[in-house]
Amino acid sequence: MSETPPVPDTRNTAPPAPRRRVNRRDQILRTAAEVFATQGFHNTSLADIAAMLDITPAGVLHHFGSKTGLLTAVLELRDDTEPAPEGGPMLDHLVTTAERNSERPGTTQLYAVLSAESATENHPAQDWFRDRYTILRRDIEGAVLDRLDPEHRGAAGAPGPDGRSAAGAAAAAVIAVMDGLQVQWLLDPEAVDMAEVTGLVIDALVARLSQEG
């Protein structure tokens, strides 16, 4: 998963090559992520990516087999600098993430645009995002329960007749807020503060689940 492949030992005293680009594949990956983010997947051509690297579209395809293969590789390339904590602190981490997202429009746009685009027929990233949401909901549901007083934990965690718990609904809500805010923010950065609103919703939901239903 590391982005840092082994560097050949040149055993010279010359200053180390300034973080030389390792191989073409990684270079293409970064460029593709950037262009998919700003243009979406379907609206991006292999020629767009190839042009930025001064090669032909087929040069790109060589490394990934198909345009879909390239997309899959881009999605796998998560740049989580810090690992997400477990349990209650995870909710604070989400606010921090929202704050960080405000400072990296590229990555924010990549996932905001692609997640919605994946909800179209036969989109190659559909399974990837469906699985991602399933895992996120489960983890955040746990984090919400962790934040509640033990006395409320039972009711909030108990699945209803539809198999979904109140904490699960809150988890879906938190993810949805973060996603929805990204679109609003990308269209109009001055209009919303993603971190502030995310924090507000988390606080409100935790407080709500700490009351009698």
Partner DNA sequence: GTCTATAGATTGATAGAC
Partner DNA sequence: GTCTATCAATCTATAGAC
Contacting positions for DNA (CB under 7 A): 23-25, 44-48, 54-59, 61-63, 65-68
Instruction: Judge whether 124 and 68 are in contact, CB under 8 Å.
Output: yes
CB of 29 to DNA, least distance (A): 12
Asked if 191 and 184 count as a contact pair (C-beta separation under 8 A), the reply is yes
Interacting residue with a second copy among 9, 80, 121, 151 (CB under 8 A): 121
Residue 61 Cα distances to 29, 57, 92, angstroms? 11, 7, 41
> Segment near a second copy (CB under 8 A), from 1-9, 51-59, 93-101, 110-118?
110-118
Residues 6 or more apart whose Cβ sits within 8 Å of residue 48: 35, 39
CB of 86 to DNA, least distance (A): 37
Q: What are the structure tokens assigned to 192, written together?
A: 């919303």
How far apart CA 53 and CA 70 sit, in angstroms, is 15
Tokens of 99: 């704050």
| DSSP-derived secondary structure letter, 189 | T
State the nearest-atom distance from the C-beta of 74 to DNA, in Å: 14
66 binds, among DNA, a second copy, none (CB under 5 to 8 A by kind): DNA
| Distance of closest approach, residue 113 Cβ to a second copy, in angstroms | 5
Q: Which residues bind a second copy (CB under 8 A)?
A: 38-40, 42-43, 109, 112-113, 115-121, 126, 129-130, 133-134, 137, 162, 164, 166, 169-170, 172-173, 175-181, 183-184, 186-188, 191-193, 196-197, 200-201, 203-205, 207-208, 211
